[in-house]
Amino acid sequence: MDVYRGTVVHCLRPQEMELLPDHLIGVENGQIKFVEPGERLEELKEQHSFTVHTLPNSQFLMPGLVDAHNHPSQYSYTGTGYDLSIQQRLEMFKIPTEAKFADIETARTIYQKAVRRSLLNGTTTASYLATVHLDSTMELCRICADAGQRVHVGKVNMDHEQTKNSTQHSVEETRKFIKSVREMKNPLMEPAVAPRFASTCSQPLLKALGDLASELAVPIHSHLGQQREEVTRLLQDNPSSRNPAHLFEMAGMLNSRTYMAHCVYTTEQEVELLRERQVGVVHCPNSNFSLRSGCLDVRGLLHCGVTKIALGTDVSGGYTSSILDAMRCALHTSKAVCFKNDGQHYDPLTLPEVLYMATMGGASVLGLDAKIGNFQVGKEFDALIIDTAAPCGNPVFDLFENDTNKDKVSKFFYLGDDRNIVSRFVAGKKIIV
């Protein structure tokens, strides 16, 4: 057994960040066996045999971060093209780049770098949307397995007239993909059914995918209400549909294992449907700013009873693989919504709330809240060790004598980056990046 001794930070509830000075976390076979005050060390030694790893005062333990929406196939052009419209960017970058993923060597090169960068930024769990290509999507799965990252992976589905994929072929390839992933027998990996957008899938394809997800008991990962123009066009193309969420609902795709990225432009009826079906929402605030999509009112969703909310980087809609950045952007977005409320009382999101979204919220959206998200006994040890004084001699941010533990933690969340992350663990195993 390994025991980590030091300051522990995590969230048990959405609005509360627990900061536990001098605590012990016992880990055996990847699972948390106890969380106790440091003063109980000698007593615990009489009950267990273990090695103690003591953190210096500048360090603390926190849960690994969850990125619930990431397009690793788009990683090669992250940081470029944000002055373009989303349609121009689609035509200039996404379409030609993703076409290259028919070549597995190209896919391997990009996916390896995307997964490594995700882990460097402290993402111990990610939900990846790949491309329509079965072979390269399986290569992504092998890369994630080799890296030791906990993942959901979806092979993208489309049968829009501009694609070369038939409805039948798309469904057959997805069935093969799910079977192949499960044959890997990797407890850290789960396949997902992934229609790209409702607008890129026919209703027969959405229905077939909904049936497949139900038959094989896999999660569903897609987009909803990202851009106002997209919603307008979708309703014009589907005049019998009440709203975009209704298209997914008619296909049997909205349930407690479904999660939708963005949801910026959702009607009251759609929000109620998401609540009723217990659908998760992935807030991607960097992308929503970068692509000029809009501001998601997370507080409004919470007030309406939509409580499963995660954070996503939406690489490359967002220009960074960092969930730390997503936390900060979520806070900024909430303040922007506050400004728009024209003087009416509005409570913007708080740091504990976005930390919850980045850990327990992400775990809940991905259906992993019984396994990860905080340091409750019985969960798996997905964790980061943060050093607020790193790197030595040229720290990322400055600390002062009167800084409390709470101050140091807050400074990391607002000012820190991957250089402050000195260790990463998934299911108790230290990840080397």
Lowest mean pLDDT among 34-38, 39-43, 228-232, 380-384: 228-232
Rounded to the nearest 10 degrees, the angle between the axes of helix 104-120 and helix 134-147 is 40
Question: How far from chain centre, in Å, is Cα 375?
Answer: 18
Residues whose CB is less than 8 angstroms from the CB of residue 204 and which lie 6 or more positions away in sequence, other chains included: 167
Model confidence at 236, in pLDDT bands (50, 70, 90)? Answer: confident
Q: What pLDDT, on a 0 to 100 scale, did the predictor assign at position 23?
A: 98
Pair 199, 237: CB distance under 8 Å: yes
Look-up of token digits 């402290």:
122
Instruction: Tell me, yes or no, if the pTM score tops 0.85.
Output: yes
What is the rounded CA–CA span in Å between residue 198 and residue 346?
33
Q: pLDDT by residue (tens digit) across 2-18? A: 999 999 999 999 999 99
Judged by DSSP in three states, 182 sits in helix
Judged by DSSP in three states, 33 sits in strand
Q: Is the pLDDT of residue 118 over 60?
A: yes
Extract the tokens encoding 96.
Answer: 């030609």
Return the beta strands (E) in 163-213 as ranges. 189-195
Percent of the residues in the chain that have a pLDDT greater than 90, as a whole number: 92
424, HSE (Cβ side, Cα atoms, 13 Å): 24
Model confidence at 164, in pLDDT bands (50, 70, 90)? Answer: low
Q: How far apart are the first and last CA of the chain?
A: 24
CB atoms within 10 A of CB 65: 27
Dihedral angle over CA of 77, 82, 88, 92, nearest 10: -20
Q: What pLDDT, on a 0 to 100 scale, did the predictor assign at position 241?
A: 83
What is the rounded CA–CA span in Å between residue 323 and residue 320?
8
Model confidence at 238, in pLDDT bands (50, 70, 90)? Answer: confident
What is the rounded CA–CA span in Å between residue 119 and residue 389?
20
Q: pLDDT by residue (tens digit) across 318-359? A: 999 999 999 999 999 999 999 887 757 899 999 999 999 999
Burial 130-141 (b: 16+ CB within 10 A, else e): bbbbbebbbbbb
Extract the tokens encoding 249.
Answer: 């609902």
Q: pLDDT by residue (tens digit) across 366-404? A: 999 999 999 999 999 999 999 999 998 899 999 999 999
Model confidence at 237, in pLDDT bands (50, 70, 90)? Answer: confident
Q: What pLDDT, on a 0 to 100 scale, did the predictor assign at position 162?
A: 57
Q: pLDDT by residue (tens digit) across 176-202? A: 999 999 999 999 999 999 999 998 999
Average pLDDT, the chain: 96
Q: Is the pLDDT of residue 82 over 70?
A: yes
Among the listed residues 310, 313, 286, 290, the one whose alpha carbon sits nearest the alpha carbon of residue 298? 310
